[in-house]
Amino acid sequence: MSGLPEEELCCPICCGIFQDPVLLPCSHSFCRCCLERFWKGASLRPCPVCRTRAPRKSPLSNRALKNLCEAFLLRQSQTGKSESRLLCGNHGEKLKLFCLVDQEPICVVCQASKTHKGHDCSPTEEAALDCKEKISATIQHLQHKLEIFNKAKQSSAVTLEHIKTQVQHVEHQMKKEFLILHQFLHEEEEKSLLALKEEEELRVTALKNSDEENTKSLMCLNETILAMEQTMNEEDLSLLQNFKATLEGAWTTLQDPEWMPESLLDESKYLGNFKYKVWEKMQTVAPYTPVILDLNTAHPCLKLSDDLTSLHYTTQCQVLPSNPERFHISAEVLGHTAYHSSSHSWEVHVGENEDWILGLASESVKRDQEVPARPENGFWTICYRDGQYRAMESPPTMLQLEEKLKNILVELNWDRGEVVFSNPSSQQIIHMFTHAFTEKLFPYFYTQSKHPLQIISKPVLPSVHEDKDISLTFSKEQ
C-alpha cells in the first residue's frame, strides 16, 4: 500500500514501526517518545544517527510518514485476519477439507477428531464446485420467483386499472338504469294524475248536469205553488173552473230527485295496492332474468351485454386481468349465482348462433385449460356445431330433433341429481343427465359465433299463502 519496504518504516532507535514520527532538520525521523528518551539529560540534543545538533524547539511531526505507517499497519492487520480465516480455529492447521455432514470446512486434525469422525468429507476445491452448482441452481430458482413476483406486480397494476374501469362502467350503467326508472315513474305519475283528473271532470260534470235538472224542477214547482196559491184566493166559481187544470199541471210528471249511485270518487281504486300496481307495470322496463352472467369469468373474446343477459364472440379480445375465476383458453362464461339445492330453470334464445354449448358446470372446473365439456370434467351440457346437436356425454351422443331449435329450456333439480334440456315450443325433452351432485353448480355458456346467446326474462307473479297468519309472498314463475 505504501510502496516502501518495511525497514524504511522502522524507527532507528526502537527498530519498530514509527509511532508518532518526528522529523529533524537533518532529515532523519524517529518516534517522538524514542527521541525524547534519547535526549533525556543531554544538553546538546544531537541526532541519534548523524549527531547533527538539533534546535531547542520541539521537532516537527512527520505527517506523511505517519500516514504511511498507519496504512502499513492496517494492511498487515487485514492480511493477518485473512490468513487466520484459512486456518482451523481449534488446531491452527489449514482448512483443506469440507465436511459434507456438518456443511463446514475442517482441517485434517478435525477429520480425525470425535466431532467429525466417520463423516464424509471432500477436498475444499471439489466442495466449492458442488456448492457453486447448488448456489447457481438456487439463484435460478430465485430468479424464477422474481419473475413470478414481477408478473404479480404487473398483474396488480392491470387489475387496479381494470377496477377503475369497472367502477366507471358500473356507475354509468347504474345512472342509465335509474334514469329509465325515473322516466318510467315520472310518466306513470303523469298518467295516474291525468286519469284521476279525467274521472274528476266526469263525476263533476254528471253532478252539475243533475243539479241543473233539479234547479229547473225547483223553478217549476215554485211557479206551480204560486199559481195554486193564486187560484185558492180567487172566487169560488173561478176556483172551480180552474181546479181541474190546476191539478193536472206539469208538476204531476216531475220525478223525485234520486241520489246518483257511485257519484263519489273511488279512492280505493287509485290508492289500493298503489305501489304494487306501479311495480307490476314496471316489469316492462325492469324485467327479471333468472340467470345473470358473471363478467369476471368471461373469456376476453366474449362480449357481454350491459345488462349481463347475452353474449357473443368477437375477434377483438379485450385486455383483462388474469384473475383465477376467468376462463383463459376457451370462449366460456359462467352464471353469477351458484346452485347447491332445490330446482332452477332458465331459457336461452340461440337464434341464428351456429356454434354453442349450454348447460351447467361445477365450481371446480379448469379455467386455465381446455377440457371437453363432459360430466367427468364437471360439465353437463349439450352442443350445436357443424349443423348437428350432441349431448356431451362420454362419448358425445348425437341428438335427433325434428326441428331446428330457437330456444332451449335448461332445468336443474339439484336434489334429485337431474339436468334436463327441452324445447319450450314443443315441450319435447331433448336430453337428460343424471348425477349425484356434491359441488355447487353454475349455468355455463360457450360460443364462437357473432350471433348472440340471449337469456330470456321471466314474468314475476304474486302468490298469497294463507295459514293461521296471513302473509304475502312472491314467487318467480318457473
Q: Cell 510502496 sits at which residue?
A: 3
Of 162-176, 236-250, 443-457, which has the strongest mean pLDDT? 443-457
Give the residue-averaged pLDDT of 161-177. Answer: 92
CATH number of 6-61: 3.30.40.10
Q: pLDDT confidence of 470, banded at 50, 70, 90? A: very low
Question: What band does 477 get if pLDDT is binned at 50, 70 and 90?
Answer: very low
Nearest to 112 by CA among 125, 99, 126: 99
Indicate whether 469 pLDDT > 60.
no
Choose among 147, 134, 74: nearest CA to 100: 134
Give 348 or 15, the one with higher predicted confidence: 348
Contact status, residue 333 vs residue 302, Cβ threshold 8 Å: yes
Cα–Cα separations (whole angstroms), residue 34 to 27, 29, 46, 66, 295: 16, 10, 13, 15, 91
Q: Count of residues for the chain?
A: 478
Q: What pLDDT is recorded for position 468?
A: 46
CB-facing half-sphere around the CA of 472: CA atoms within 13 A: 4
Q: What CATH number should be reported for the domain whose range is 302-456? A: 2.60.120.920
The DSSP bridge partners found for residue 373 are none
- Checking if the pLDDT of 107 tops 90, the result is no
- Structure letter (DSSP) for residue 255: P
Contact 344, 412 (CB under 8 A): yes
Of residues 253, 165, 260, the one with CA closest to residue 207: 260
Query: What residue segments make up the domains of the chain, in order of their start?
Result: 6-61, 160-283, 302-456
Helix (H) or strand (E) holding 21: strand 21-23
Q: What is the pLDDT of residue 473?
A: 44
Over residues 359-418, the pLDDT tens digits come to 999 999 999 998 999 999 999 999 999 999 999 999 999 998 988 999 999 999 999 999
How much is the pLDDT for 476?
Answer: 42
